[in-house]
Amino acid sequence: MIFDLKDLKTAEKQYYLQHVVAPRPVCFASTIDKKGNVNLSPFSFFNLFSSNPPVVIFSPSRRVRDNTIKHTLENVMEVPEVVINIVTYEMVHQVSLASCEYPKELNEFAKAGFTPELATLIKPPMVKESKVKMECKVIEVKPLGNGGGAGNLVICEVLRMHIDDSLLDENKKMDQRKIHHIARLGGDWYCKVDATNLFRVTKPNTELGIGIDALPVSIRKSKILRGSNLAQLASVNELPVIEPSFEDAHLKNIIQYYSVNPDEMEKELHVYAKKLLDEGKVKEAWQVLLALN
């Protein structure tokens, strides 16, 4: 199916885009108007765009229903300051409640049961329950259109971060497994990040990876190894060689058992290498594959 965005109704564009551009982190924005009315609303059109200067952007859209603009946008145009509170799993139902379209004078802190805490550099309050809060100055508001559904980039410079001590180790480093971020997908779907669904991909960028085109043909054309397995193998800086000290009982068994049938041996070695790669054991997988030569 091919969709031309120009042929879709606004709600349909929103539907497909939000299901595929996902998961999106959620910024819980606290703002005030010039009379001092506080607003607290979530926005998943949100991300980090620069570290120096430190810039994050979120986007309150014009309502598709009636093309009106959201209180958060009105507020940052009156008082260009915002606290961006990072949303974690424990907060998600309250955050969703805060997204109700309450009248402007009603304070979502009270409606959603959050505690306001004074910020240190700006006027809007922080959400005490949030484990990470960023005090930001709004440096620009950039409308992306005039129709319903049009986004408005609220470009924010992060001035100060408050990170809960429980997320930091003794060297002030963060443990990614401890912030249980949530993220928004399409419709009512959310996902949750925790130790059970996080994984690591080692950066190959200190030195150049050899690349998939430099892998031996028998590996590159493997019927067992997948693209991601090949990429793991191709992330080494030079083609590995057999290490005589490498000992592996299962490898020994394969070589003994299939010595009369090289095709079957290749298949079995690839199956074993794949298992090792799926466990992140790239060096060992290379040794298994080299055993074929």
Ligand X SMILES: Cc1cc2nc3c(=O)[nH]c(=O)nc-3n(C[C@H](O)[C@H](O)[C@H](O)COP(=O)(O)O)c2cc1C
The residues binding ligand X (CB under 6 A) are: 26, 39, 41-45, 59-61, 70-72, 96, 99, 101, 184
> What are the phi and psi torsion angles at 30 (to 5°)?
-105, 125
β-pair partners for 161: 134
Residue 69 to residue 63: CA distance in whole angstroms: 6
Q: Is 43 exposed, middle or buried (0-12, 13-18, 19+ CB in 10 A)?
A: buried
Nearer to ligand X, 44 or 88 (CB): 44
Rounded to the nearest whole angstrom, what is the least distance from the CB of residue 273 to ligand X in the complex? Answer: 42
Rounded to the nearest whole angstrom, what is the least distance from the CB of residue 157 to ligand X in the complex? Answer: 19
DSSP one-letter code for 62: P
Neighbours of 145 (CB within 10 A): 11
Residue 240 to residue 288: CA distance in whole angstroms: 11
**Joined tokens for residue 241:** 């060689």
Rounded to the nearest whole angstrom, what is the least distance from the CB of residue 221 to ligand X in the complex? Answer: 45
Rounded to the nearest whole angstrom, what is the least distance from the CB of residue 206 to ligand X in the complex? Answer: 36
Nearer to ligand X, 43 or 272 (CB): 43
Nearer to ligand X, 59 or 232 (CB): 59
E-assigned strands of the chain? 24-25, 27-32, 38-43, 46-51, 54-58, 81-86, 116-117, 126-127, 132-143, 152-163, 182-184, 190-192
Distance of CA 232 to the CA centre of its chain: 21
Rounded to the nearest whole angstrom, what is the least distance from the CB of residue 240 to ligand X in the complex? Answer: 46
Nearer to ligand X, 41 or 222 (CB): 41
Rounded to the nearest whole angstrom, what is the least distance from the CB of residue 81 to ligand X in the complex? Answer: 15
Nearer to ligand X, 61 or 232 (CB): 61
Nearer to ligand X, 23 or 209 (CB): 23
Rounded to the nearest whole angstrom, what is the least distance from the CB of residue 63 to ligand X in the complex? Answer: 7
Nearer to ligand X, 3 or 189 (CB): 189
Residue 58 to residue 23: CA distance in whole angstroms: 15
Q: How many CA atoms lie within 13 A of 97 on its CB side?
A: 12
